[in-house]
Amino acid sequence: MAFAIEFVSPERILYSGEGTMVTARTRGGGDIAFLPGHEPFIGSLQTSEVKVTEVGGDLLRFAVRGGFVSVTGDKVTVLSDLAVPAGDIDAAAARADLEVADIALGVDDLDPFAIADKKWAELRLTLSGATVD
């Protein structure tokens, strides 16, 4: 059994396809795996990895900076203002972002924007296969 999967970003539809499973991490919860026929669900996502198992078994990985997942029995929609397929991550840019965030945190270690930026940079580095210092 399969369902339609769509990744929608503000500028365009990032991915649209058929899959058998989607794994995401919601805020306040752990990882949730959605299978076709899942009950209607809307969740707020953490800055985390979203995994899509396509029909045929290929595994796609996306880094999302927050967003929402909306599930009905036959469709999963991931809404995220920033989502990048793991293969498209620019590790150098992520590393640079991490440095900037660290500098900002050095000034104010509670700056919510900097905390979010740091988490996002670390996630991208992890997914791109680079090591986080």
Which residues partner with 59 through β-bridges? Answer: 53
State yes or no: residue 90 binds other proteins (CB under 8 A): no
Could you tell me if 78 and 63 are in contact, meaning their C-beta atoms sit under 8 angstroms apart?
no
Choose the binding region for other proteins from 50-58, 60-68, 89-97, 104-112 (rule: CB under 8 A).
60-68
Q: What share of the chain is helix, strand, coil (3-state, %, to 5)?
A: 30, 40, 30
State yes or no: residue 113 binds other proteins (CB under 8 A): yes
Report CA-CA distances (Å) from 67 to 25, 96, 126.
Answer: 10, 23, 19
Choose the binding region for other proteins from 55-63, 69-77, 87-95, 99-107 (rule: CB under 8 A).
69-77
Scanning the structure block, which residue is given the tokens 């396509």? 54
Could you tell me if 127 and 89 are in contact, meaning their C-beta atoms sit under 8 angstroms apart?
yes
Choose the binding region for other proteins from 21-29, 48-56, 98-106, 119-127 (rule: CB under 8 A).
21-29
From candidates 40, 56, 112, 129, binder to other proteins by CB under 8 A: 40
Site of interaction with other proteins (CB under 8 A): 8-13, 26-29, 32, 39-44, 66-68, 70, 72, 77, 79, 81, 113
